[in-house]
Structure 1
């Protein structure tokens, strides 16, 4: 591909590659070149358009490859994982990555090369919890522990057994963190809904007041939740930048 192509031509060429089901390294390189721009506004618009396009294409492709071989399906899933990561769609990236791991796990009894290691599940759990997907991180930790149990046929005095013991402790800590965060997230959602209802009730109870009467404690609590959500949003954006780079 010529480097003189405009952004619009590059996007058109990338879409042409996808429509022709060319899930190869060259297609990913085209995508990377599209996203190299100093114009922040244009980059945001391009990413948004590519997210919509790739999400739509993904579901079409999944239906099309139902009869394909296992290795072909794995290659396609891996392509979309990398493509979603490049365009900054972390949610879709993690979702497809999770499906790929589950698919490999399902097919591994008859295809040993597809076997998922506990370190892969651990890495996925770590990325999920950092992006706020606590429940799925929890499940990934459970799968990581199952993988260790599956492979635990080593000598207790061996280096491999010692290394697995360290990983087990790490997985358990991560799982506990995911459980606590998931519970906290649920409580925050319930609290927000409760405060919204209380606010509406006050508006109905004191209709003669020119201004809405608010409890100072409730206001401070809402502000605290708002600051925490802003911090989490900043952390997620920072992680997205790291993954893309």
Structure 2
């Protein structure tokens, strides 16, 4: 590792420890990752990732006392960007989930913070694509609540009634595949089946836009990941009944 890279890593760590969550800190990280002197880049990224995971947990505890939801969201968004640069998909999704839950909890008093069904669906799609099927199913359930007529919550972003019906069908479909994939022995096969179908439908369908209790959202997310790993360890013992997958959808 070059002296310059070592200096930049020290600077980045100092900025994080001093809670400088801004674009300047992100630029330092970008310089580290792009540096020609970073010969052991894999080791550097791993060390930075471990450091950021520890710091992000401390930060989440610290910001719980902040009164401003906007400030909380800005800090969480900063950490999402950091983990995206490092390539830690798990932490990136966990913090995105944390941010969505923060907004949902405050939406009753501030409608500008309301999470739309499109945002929940986008998050569900990303979770599914990265193998977090239980979390994808929960996000689909959140998306469907946006159409709960009894609570007068209708997502105006989706347009007219016809478009809403189509969107509900898409959410229900993803929820179905996420549920059977999470409980299925053939996890990879089910996921591949769904993604293949989406690729076929893509030519005639518009993609969705990507819009950048006591347990925290990230804690729930990681519990879901642990359950997923446990299912995979015991997958040889489980069998998906043929009746659980209707012929018209398989």
TM-score (norm 1): 0.69
Matched residue SS, 1:6: helix
**2:169 is the alignment partner of 1:125:** no
Distance (whole Å) between structure 1 residues aligned to residue 107 and residue 78 of structure 2: 20
Cα drift, residue 19 of structure 1:
1.2
- In structure 2, the residue matched to 1:20 is 18
Alignment gaps of 5+ in structure 2: 188-227, 239-250
- Of 125, 145, 153, the residue aligned with 1:151 is 153
Q: How many residues align?
A: 188
1:110 paired residue number: 109
Q: Distance in 2 between matches of 1:127 and 1:39?
A: 33
Instruction: Summarize the Cα distance change of 1:166–1:43 in structure 2 as closer, same or farther, 3 Å threshold.
Output: farther
For residues 100 and 128 of structure 1, the distance between their equivalents in structure 2, rounded to whole angstroms, comes to 15
1:221 corresponds in structure 2 to none
Which ranges of 4 or more aligned residues in structure 1 deviate by more than 3 Å?
Answer: 37-41, 185-189
- Cα distance, 1:159 vs structure 2: 4.6
The answer to whether 1:170 aligns with 2:165 is no
Change in CA separation of 1:190 and 1:21 when aligned onto 2, cut-off 3 Å: same
CA distance in 1, matches of 2:165, 2:85: 35
- Contact 2:118 2:143 (8 Å CA) reproduced: yes
Distance in 2, matches of 1:153 and 1:10, equals 45
* Residue 96 of structure 1: aligned partner: 95
**Structure 2 Cα separation of the partners of residues 126 and 40 of structure 1:** 34
SS in 1 for 2:234: helix
Aligned to 1:242: none
Residues 46-99 of structure 1: per-residue CA shift (max 9 Å, x gap): 110111100111111122222212111111111111111111111111111111
| 1:182 equivalent in structure 2 | 182
1:174-226 CA-to-partner distances (Å, cap 9, x unmatched) read 1111012101247653244x59xxxxxxxxxxxxxxxxxxxxxxxxxxxxxxx
Change (3 A) 1:121 1:46: same
SS at match of 1:148: coil
Q: Name which one, 1 or 2, has greater alpha-carbon Rg.
A: 1
- Rounded Cα–Cα distance in structure 2 between residues aligned with 1:191 and 1:18: 41
> For residues 88-129 of structure 1, what are the alpha-carbon distances to aligned partners after superposition, in whole Å with 9 as ceiling and x for unaligned?
111111111111111110111111221101111101000101
- Output the aligned Cα RMSD: 2.6
User: Which residues in structure 2 correspond to 1:1-245 (within 5 Å)?
Assistant: 6-37=4-35, 42-68=40-66, 69-149=68-148, 150-152=152-154, 159-184=159-184, 185=187, 189-192=233-236
| Counterpart contact for 2:127–2:135, Cα < 8 Å | yes
Distance 1:30 1:152 in 2: 43
Q: Could you tell me the TM-score, scaled by structure 2's length?
A: 0.68
